[in-house]
Chains A and B, each alone.
Chain A
């Protein structure tokens, strides 16, 4: 069964550094998402991406965050200057249509020191 794959599984970064989280969505999917989950809390929506542009974003997704689909297979989340409170599990998801089920990757655990 096709999967969403995320790399790395764990990223440790110093506060203030830039970090890029990578995702390979399912190949025929057109809608892409990033969510985050702070330890012990619920999953929170960050951003949705369709047709090479952001279609929706949450208040969490401020100017420090950006997303990109640099080629036909990868989907990335960049945090420009990381803060301690960015420590969380980041999940990428994709779907074939916007009203179809979203399939999640296993996440990247981001630890900011």
Chain B
């Protein structure tokens, strides 16, 4: 059974940093591209980042480019999202998701909530 378990969310002040983790199991993590999608309270889904199987290809939405960094540890089956210079508009539930061809997401984690507020 595919499982994706996010952690690391919480309450931070504007300008601070946070690192999210996503522990993967039930599939061959090192062979799967992965992504992060967020959802602000009461809003829709927003893709923010994806990473290739080996980690050498990283991609970002304009809204987070230069502030967020996606990475992965294929030896530990963990996906990361380093979030710097956080803003109030980054407040959202953050989901990690397993990608299949065409950057479609076949499995999702339960999400971790990030709140940016002073």
Q: Do A and B bind each other?
A: no
Residues of A within 8 A of B (CB): none
